[in-house]
Amino acid sequence: MANLVIVESPTKVGPIKKYLGSNYKVIASKGHLRDLPKSSLGIDIENGFDAHYINIRGKGDLIKEIKKEAKSAKKVFLATDPDREGEAIAWHLATVLGIPLEKTLRVGFNEITPTVVKASIKEPRNIDMNLVNSQQTRRLLDRIVGYKISPLLWKTVKSGLSAGRVQSVATRILVERENEISAFVPVEYWTVEAELQNADGKSFTVRFYGDEDGKIRLGSEEDTNNVLSAIKNGEFNVKSIKKADKQKLPAPPFTTSTLQQEAANKLGFQSARTMRVAQELYEGINLGSEFGGVQGLITYMRTDSLRISDEAQASAREFIVSAYGEEYVPESPRKFKANKGSQDAHEAIRPSQVELLPTKIRKALTPDQYKLYKLIWERFVASQMQSARLNTITADVENSGYIFRASGYSVAFQGYMAVHEASEEVRSQGDEVALVKDIRIPALKKGESLLTTGINAEKHFTEAPPRYTEASLIKFLEEKGIGRPSTYTPIITTIIARNYVRRDGKVLLPTELGTLTTKIMEENFSDIVDYKFTANMETKLDKIEDGKLEYIDVLSSFWKDFKADLERADQKIGSEDIKIPVEETDIICEKCGAKMVVRTGKFGKFAACPNFPKCRNTKPLAPKEEEEKSEEKVAKKEIIADFKCEKCGSDMVLRNSRYGSFFACSKYPECKFIKTKTQELEVPCPKCGGKVITKHGRNKSVFYSCVNYPACDFSSWDMPTSEICPDCGKMLFRKKGKNLLVCAEKSCGYKRECETLKTEVDE
């Protein structure tokens, strides 16, 4: 009679079974088996917030299989992911299988490696109900907020507005930044640089700094001319030279948020892509017989801890000595202090085996896996190395009472920089001036006179604060204590999927819908979108996990105030008449004469008559440059493409059919050449992260392909979406011709209907 091990992801089954041997059978739960019902609130608020969990639709056969295997097993080990969500899944599994809490055997694998898997299975524990209750509290809070607020929003806006507890805060952050940018007034300032030469004829550049009393800002042309007039006939003399040896410490190993930020900045990965690839590296890659077959390459990737195990540090130090030398290892292993409020349940993200150099296993990895593994490996190894030593120099040059400055540094000892250099720039301690690497400042002597070869004054204007990218938004959320490592990606994915936010290149922009929803939330549910309130709730969830708070008390306290807000909002919202602003076009509806407006459909934006449903006229939207073509095009009401017919060289014009839009030769029927019209979806290619476009097959039906074809061979009849599978983290696809979402990972088996109640928020 074999022991049964239940994991979450099917991809873990193979390697764990291999490590444990024939006495163990391993199966996957494929995420949650039970959840709150979608058709109702599912929470009895008046009776202690009793949650009504039901088996998830489509998981019936899997539950039967797990029950059957558990019944015949000697022992049942619940080996779901080692976090709150995984603990809750283990609890639901125990409930389904009828295992009393005191008899549960809970294990968690921080790494999917033989040593860790075998060691963990020997030391099982009971399910930690503090962890479970922390997850339950988050789940119930999100359900209550979503199901109670959304119907109130429908009274005013009939477009299915919904509100989420944390998503609404994230949207507010983007809306406020957009408001800052709109209100920003540029301020003028000037810079003055002088090209100088020393006695040996060696040139260098200095920049205006201030005077004897300190730094001065040149805010106008008049201020600048005063300086220029003063120094014009004056002489530049070396006032002081400051040299120093400084140390630059390595960055700590990655947490979830810093990994997402660095992957975005250095690799251009969106957070969902980063977490998907990290999941693959954690669960295991087949490296071939040379490296022991399937190996989990990194530790668990949802963590905000900076702790490193003693064994991992010892291995890293041994590797560094052999690869770089004794001088590259600090006297004692480095300890990094985590941010306030971070959890220490797991280690920081690091390679499972430091000996597995990225270059050694590159052939076994996809390009994305290699890039991310290399980033993680280098960051970890560097974090355990000696500091870099820098020779810094700051030269102050005086002319007519004004100070000009040049600063720079050179690397005296690489230290950790031999492996990895973080993206932040080096700054001199206590100096406002950023140091620039390897600035060539010639040998100077105090009091030395310098020859002026040129003076340049330039006008500038201060710039508005930058829009948020995924990386900077995640950084802001982390700094404010909003959300946790496992929630950053779902937050961003959700607000984009609900059209509250859209991507514009790398930046995130709030839509009209997002701005309107934020306005309504701020006026009626200020606590829900308040940064401090949301961060304080995260702190309470942490205290529930630590056993310092009862989850019922947290829910009761929240409901007391929230209920009062609901009652006030119910009276106020219903009396208002708020409409979502629409974007007008210059296209005139030929059926009723109204100006057509922009609408968004399954395949992107299109022009529609505002008098719908009385007038159902629609038109494809063409780029503005196409709309401004010749008078002949306007007269014919034709949209001319910016490419020519490949057969005869004539104009190509947009045509419509019941199968969709396409471009046809304007000389039809003499020339019958056609080219299908592609449309971009706002979702990344699941293979390479590029854009997904629509295409037409031979039977004229639509399919989806990567814009990078043939370099990337992704194609699918099912439509990729921006939603992520809750079971395995892969992308969800909408089945062709069906209102059904299915997981891209066939072995996962997750699926659900996509036409659900509009109150289903923060799910």
Whether the predicted pLDDT of 510 surpasses 70:
yes
Q: Which pLDDT score, from 0 to 100, does residue 298 have?
A: 96
For 256-383, CATH number out of 1.10.260.30, 1.10.290.10, 1.20.1260.10, 3.40.109.10 equals 1.10.290.10
Whether the predicted pLDDT of 666 surpasses 90:
no
Structurally, what CATH architecture does the domain formed by 139-184+466-573 represent?
Orthogonal Bundle (1.10)
Give this prediction's pTM.
0.74
Q: Which pLDDT score, from 0 to 100, does residue 301 have?
A: 93
For 273-293, give the secondary structure using H, E and C. Answer: HHHHHHHHHHHCEECCHHHCC
Rounded Cα distance between 455 and 193, Å, is 6
Domain 188-249+388-461, what fold?
A: Topoisomerase I; domain 3 (2.70.20)
Structure tokens at 225: 């001319």
If 0-12 CB within 10 Å is exposed, 13-18 middle and 19+ buried, where does residue 239 land?
A: middle
Whether the predicted pLDDT of 459 surpasses 60:
yes
pLDDT more than 90, % of the chain: 59
Q: Which pLDDT score, from 0 to 100, does residue 464 have?
A: 94
Mean pLDDT in residue range 656-663: 62
Domain 3-127, what fold?
A: Rossmann fold (3.40.50)
The residue among 582 and 533 whose pLDDT is bigger is 533
Mean pLDDT across the chain: 86
pLDDT more than 70, % of the chain: 87
Mean pLDDT in residue range 15-42: 93
Write out the H or E segment, with its range, that includes residue 89. helix 84-97
pLDDT band at 157 (very low <50, low <70, confident <90, very high): low
Whether the predicted pLDDT of 714 surpasses 80:
yes
Q: Which of 34-38, 595-599, 689-693 has the lowest mean pLDDT?
A: 689-693
Catalytic residue numbers, as ranges? 300
Q: What is the bridge-based pairing of β-strands 3-7 and 76-78?
A: parallel
Q: Which pLDDT score, from 0 to 100, does residue 759 have?
A: 28
Q: Where are the domains of the chain?
A: 3-127, 139-184+466-573, 188-249+388-461, 256-383
Q: Which pLDDT score, from 0 to 100, does residue 294 have?
A: 87
pLDDT band at 575 (very low <50, low <70, confident <90, very high): low
Mean pLDDT in residue range 47-71: 94
In order, the DSSP letters of 388-456 are EEEEEEEEEEEETTEEEEEEEEEEEE-GGGGT---SSPPB-TT-SSBP-BT--PPP--TT-EEEEEEEE
Highest mean pLDDT among 175-189, 473-487, 581-595: 175-189
- What phi and psi, each to the nearest 5 degrees, are found at residue 699? -90, 15
Q: Which pLDDT score, from 0 to 100, does residue 697 have?
A: 61
Neighbours of 360 (CB within 10 A): 12
Q: Which pLDDT score, from 0 to 100, does residue 636 have?
A: 38
Q: Which of 257, 145, 148, 175 is nearest to 482 (CA)?
A: 257
pLDDT in tens, 468-497: 999 999 999 999 999 888 889 999 999 998
pLDDT band at 160 (very low <50, low <70, confident <90, very high): low
pLDDT band at 630 (very low <50, low <70, confident <90, very high): very low
Q: Which pLDDT score, from 0 to 100, does residue 760 have?
A: 29
The residue among 17 and 485 whose pLDDT is bigger is 17
pLDDT band at 436 (very low <50, low <70, confident <90, very high): very low
pLDDT in tens, 675-709: 765 666 767 788 777 778 877 665 556 788 887 77
Mean pLDDT in residue range 117-121: 95
Mean pLDDT in residue range 565-571: 88
Q: Which pLDDT score, from 0 to 100, does residue 625 have?
A: 35
The residue among 331 and 583 whose pLDDT is bigger is 331
Whether the predicted pLDDT of 307 surpasses 50:
yes
Whether the predicted pLDDT of 172 surpasses 70:
yes
pLDDT in tens, 243-274: 999 999 999 999 999 999 999 999 999 999 99
Q: Which pLDDT score, from 0 to 100, does residue 274 have?
A: 95
Mean pLDDT in residue range 20-48: 93
Report the half-sphere exposure of 448 (CA within 13 A, side-chain side): 18
Whether the predicted pLDDT of 425 surpasses 50:
no
Rounded Cα distance between 429 and 424, Å, is 14
| Cβ density class 294-308: b for 16+ within 10 Å, e for less | bbbbbbbbbbbbbbb
- Let me know: does 471 contact 424? Beta carbons within 8 Å: no
Structure tokens at 72: 């015949």
